[in-house]
Structure 1
Amino acid sequence: MGALPKPTQGLVMPTLEEVAQRSGVSRSTVSRVINNDPHVSEETRQKVLQAIAELDYHPNAVARSLAAGHTQIIGLVIPTAVAMLFSDPYFPRLIQGVAAECNASDYSVMLWIGEPEYERRTIHRHLNSGLLDGIIVASAVRGDPVVSALQQSGLPFVMVGRPDDPTISYVDVDNVHGAREAVLHLLRQGYRRVATITGPLNTAAAFDRLEGYRAALQSRGIAVDENLIAEGDFTEESGVLAMRKLLPHKPDAVFCASDTMAQGAMRVIRGEGLRIPEDIAIVGYDDMPFAVNLDPPLTTVRQPIERMGQEAVKLLLDLLAHPNDGPHRLVLPTELIIRASTVRGNS
């Protein structure tokens, strides 16, 4: 077999050594010029800059950033299955918010998706790579290995969602208040057997929304019936399964902890020949774009998902700028959006 052809000169990247040789100085002097060291003479600087221009040399941006102690890269960790990432409209909106704020702040985003078993095998390698200035963790469950590894690493990080540890910085919405207002709305409409389909209760969002549901009933002197509580996992199919579990207990309204689960619940209700909201009213959570186009349009709790992503980046950049400050916390408000799925006579 013959020798491989040599690459053309246009495909060969010039090196730091070649710049040093052409300009007649050392590699370290070339590096000092590239990094704008004020102690380099103007004559030497001009010789190096001329050699850089003649060779069309482009310094390795990553290497320069590492030498300076920062990379301008933020990691966004979403500890969930890849299929969940693309089936749940929450995550694309969150990613959009993170990316928009990173772009505005001249940062890049490295997206890291992985289930817990994958995280356990790879977390330390990623954290020790030196490629990330900080990390945003979205939708972590209780006891997630990413969180404990981050705490041990000392790398600055912010969570999207309330953590159990008060020393961790986070951004979230007031999930207890949002759920409470949704259930109180149902009670004001005259519904009394109000059920709920929760998210996975090892997540803070699902736990807090269940707390809001309980608080609303108790504020009106209504005992909480555990038969009217069914756990889902924020997916449409889990809404279907949970609604089938609830129907024998005769609810007249259901508060769902996500719009996707509400969509599944509505399929079951209509499949049983029941009317929404005359027979069973439905409230969701998130105010996803599809909610207004459901039949009937879905009453839901709007949370500012894109803004949560933006604010998480801002909190992280503030931590990077002021590493000795205490934990940063931001809780954003929710808004109840009333549509025909809960108002009798409007469907």
Structure 2
Amino acid sequence: MARVTLADVARAAGVDMSTASRVLRGEASQRVREETRVRILKIAEEMQYLANPLARGLRTQRTDTLGIVVPQLDNPVFASAIRGAELEAAERGYSLLISHREPGETATTIAKISRTNRVDGLLVASLDDDEVLRTDLAAARVPFVLMNRILPGAPLSVVLDSRAAARKGVEHLTALGHRRIAHLAGREGGFNARERLQGYRDGLAAAGIAFDEALVGVAGYTAEGGTQAMRALLPQHPTAVLAATLVSAAGAMATLHEAGLRIPEDISVIGLHDAPVARMLYPALTSVAMPTEEMGRVAADLLIRALGGEDPTPVAPLPPGTLVVRGSTGPAPI
């Protein structure tokens, strides 16, 4: 059976090819009557029309592909964001090209993807410093949306309300009677690290607890960082720990087990972000759920609308989800 072409669909619908193409691409700027749009879509479905992306790309210089650049593939935060972006892209007729790069490699990755015309736009998550990221993004020749951080001067970004999430975690611990609450912070100087530290301080202040800098250790976003930071904080004798991420919380729990401390009888642990791995830890980790998949979807939506000629309105930080209480938190020891 011969392949159904765009010309076949246009002919059957009684419209010209440019009209059929605009409707089937779902362009926001299209000026087509609703009855015409419905007729074209119905005929395309009945004829089992499938677009030829190679031919269309040569004609329009578009690939119908978005790129997503992430610093970690084994971090549940980015894995979830990728899933959300992929779902949104697929629903809108786009493919998603995933690129992993370590901090410091952003410029090479962005330049390689954008200059070879492999994507129409980029979703970028980065752990690099602001100035490094700003320099790297100058290499992008396509529209972009930042995820999980704000960069002054960048027009579009989608972030989580990490400050509110950290406060919610501390409030859970103070409600259990904890007063010496340690914080495993994110990357020093990073946007999210600042927001979570402030949320930690907000939670302490709300409970009338003075902030003690000696109870804050920089763990970054790895299990190894959580292990090392927790080990350094043990001499401060905290009764509870708020970790900036699920991954660093897992590292902290390993250190506590090695030290012979019981969780939660001797010390409670809570992490930000929730994922299936939280249930696999021993004991299962109490966590503040974060809408990371929604972050990916919203970022992809912003980018696609920008590619369609719209001027999307920046979105407010996405509020945290529920507090998922499991076995790693309990009353403060007497």
Aligned to 1:329: 315
Letter of the 1:207 counterpart: R
Aligned to 1:282: 269
Residues 305 and 312 of structure 2 are in contact (CA less than 8 Å); yes or no, is this contact kept in structure 1?
no
Give 1:42-81 correspondences, 5 Å limit.
61-78=53-70, 80=71
- Partners of 1:151 and 1:163 in 2: how far apart? 16
Under a length normalisation based on structure 2, what TM-score does the superposition of the two structures give? 0.77
Residues 206 and 257 of structure 1 are in contact (CA less than 8 Å); yes or no, is this contact kept in structure 2?
yes
- 1:42-95 deviation per Cα after TM superposition (whole angstroms, max 9, x unaligned): xxxxxxxxxxxxxxxx997335324314220111111x2xxx423x23322222
Give the SS at the match of 1:332.
Answer: coil
Total equivalences in the alignment = 286
- Partners of 1:181 and 1:108 in 2: how far apart? 36
Residues 170 and 203 of structure 2 are in contact (CA less than 8 Å); yes or no, is this contact kept in structure 1?
yes
Letter of the 1:261 counterpart: S
- Partners of 1:146 and 1:66 in 2: how far apart? 31
Q: 1:181 aligns with which of 164, 168, 172?
A: 168
Q: 1:292 aligns with which of 279, 286, 299?
A: 279
Residues 240 and 264 of structure 1 are in contact (CA less than 8 Å); yes or no, is this contact kept in structure 2?
yes
Give the SS at the match of 1:76.
Answer: strand
Deviation beyond 4 Å, 4+ runs, structure 1: 144-147, 151-154
Give the SS at the match of 1:333.
Answer: coil
Give the SS at the match of 2:226.
Answer: helix
Percent identity for Structure 1 against Structure 2: 36
Residues 116 and 144 of structure 1 are in contact (CA less than 8 Å); yes or no, is this contact kept in structure 2?
no
Give 1:63-142 correspondences, 5 Å limit.
63-78=55-70, 80=71, 84-86=72-74, 88-121=75-108, 123-142=110-129
Letter of the 2:254 counterpart: R
Residues 94 and 308 of structure 1 are in contact (CA less than 8 Å); yes or no, is this contact kept in structure 2?
yes
Q: 1:198 aligns with which of 185, 195, 203?
A: 185
- 1:159-193 deviation per Cα after TM superposition (whole angstroms, max 9, x unaligned): 11131315421112110000011101111111000
- Partners of 1:116 and 1:194 in 2: how far apart? 30
Aligned to 2:291: 304
Cα–Cα, structure 1 residues 59 and 224, in superposed 2: closer, same or farther, change >3 Å?
A: closer
Letter of the 1:68 counterpart: T
- Partners of 1:340 and 1:125 in 2: how far apart? 46
Aligned to 1:50: none
Gaps of at least 5 residues in structure 1 are 1-34, 39-57
- Partners of 1:331 and 1:77 in 2: how far apart? 20
Gaps of at least 5 residues in structure 2 are 1-15, 20-49
Aligned to 2:31: none
Letter of the 1:337 counterpart: V
CA apart distance, 1:209: 0.9
Aligned to 2:223: 236
Structure label with greater radius of gyration:
1
Q: RMSD of the alignment, in Å?
A: 2.6
Letter of the 2:68 counterpart: L
CA apart distance, 1:119: 3.2
- Partners of 2:312 and 2:298 in 1: how far apart? 17
Residues 297 and 340 of structure 1 are in contact (CA less than 8 Å); yes or no, is this contact kept in structure 2?
yes
Q: 2:157 aligns with which of 162, 166, 170?
A: 170
- Partners of 1:326 and 1:106 in 2: how far apart? 19
- Partners of 1:122 and 1:341 in 2: how far apart? 39
